[in-house]
């Protein structure tokens, strides 16, 4: 079943599961341009664009921010790997690309998951995947997330250290 949903980003088509009736991730179109439609737990439409990812990268790298052009180039590079998929296999990445993905994982924009399977000869095989953390990305865009890779609500171990510990004594 396909229904139409209107979000702050425009009109998208959403596919729902026949069995559960719950929305699933599906390709949508806006002004002749394809976007990937993502739905959060509360059913809100979340479309991840290059502009969104650029803003999240720009605000998450450090407190002074990354230059807009550099953040856009990184966002386009990352989005080219994902295309319309929600996850990609790690094997397609070159070492330089993987380094950039690890940096984005440190900021909370990307995360990993792995799948284990048993081969016919009895050996275990692990497949590693990269996924967007869409909630974290939209948190960074809205300004609710901190730029240090910690999700909101997470505390740093340094928050509990008293201020006098940081003072040098002569």
Say if residue 118 is in the same domain as residue 42: no
pLDDT 10s digits, 100-119:
999 999 999 999 999 999 99
35 and 54 assigned to the same domain: no
Q: Is residue 18 part of a domain?
A: yes
Dmax (CA) for the chain in angstroms is 72
Is there a single domain that holds both residue 82 and residue 109?
A: yes
- Give the whole-angstrom CA distance, residue 16 versus residue 95: 38
Rounded Cα–Cα distance for residues 132 and 72 (Å): 16
pLDDT exceeds 80 at position 91: yes
Between helices 50-60 and 95-107, what is the axis angle to 10°?
Answer: 70
User: What is the band of 67 on the pLDDT scale with cuts at 50, 70, 90?
Assistant: confident
Are 41 and 54 found together in one domain?
Answer: no
Do residue 108 and residue 132 come from a single domain? yes
Residue 133: give its domain's CATH number.
1.10.10
What pLDDT does 36 receive?
A: 44
Whether residue 138 is found in the same domain as residue 77: yes
Are both 40 and 71 inside the same structural domain?
Answer: no
74 and 146 in a common domain: yes
Residue-wise pLDDT tens digits, 9-64? 443 434 444 444 544 444 443 333 334 444 455 555 567 889 999 999 988 876 66
More confident residue, 71 or 21: 71
Question: Are residues 121 and 72 both part of a single domain?
Answer: yes
Give me the mean pLDDT over the 86-99 stretch.
93
Domain that holds residue 101: 50-150
Between the alpha carbon of residue 135 and those of residues 41, 52, 86, 127, 160, the distances in Å are: 10, 12, 13, 24, 27
- Put the strands of the sheet holding 45-47 in their side by side order: 26-30, 33-39, 45-47
pLDDT at 31: 37
Same domain, 32 and 106: no
Mean pLDDT (the chain, rounded)? 74
Higher pLDDT, 155 or 86: 86
95 and 21: one domain? no
What's the number of domains the chain is made of? 2
Does 157 map to a domain? Answer: no
Q: Which residue has the tokens 């599906």?
A: 26
């Amino acid at each position: 079943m396909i229904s139409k949903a209107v979000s702050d980003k425009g009109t998208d088509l959403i596919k729902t599961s026949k069995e559960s009736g719950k929305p699933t991730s599906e390709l949508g179109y806006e002004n002749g341009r394809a976007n990937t439609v993502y739905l959060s737990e509360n059913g809100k439409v979340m479309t991840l664009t290059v502009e969104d990812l650029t803003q999240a990268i720009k605000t998450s790298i450090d407190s002074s921010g990354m230059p807009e052009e550099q953040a856009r180039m990184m966002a386009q590079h990352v989005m080219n790997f994902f295309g319309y998929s929600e996850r990609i296999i790690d094997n397609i990445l070159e070492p330089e690309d993987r380094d950039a993905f690890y940096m984005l994982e440190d900021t909370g924009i990307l995360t990993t998951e792995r799948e284990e399977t048993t081969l016919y000869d009895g050996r275990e095989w692990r497949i590693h995947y990269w996924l967007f953390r869409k909630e974290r990305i939209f948190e960074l865009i809205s300004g609710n997330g901190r730029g240090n890779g910690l999700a909101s609500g997470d505390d740093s171990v340094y928050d509990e250290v008293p201020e006098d510990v940081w003072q040098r004594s002569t």
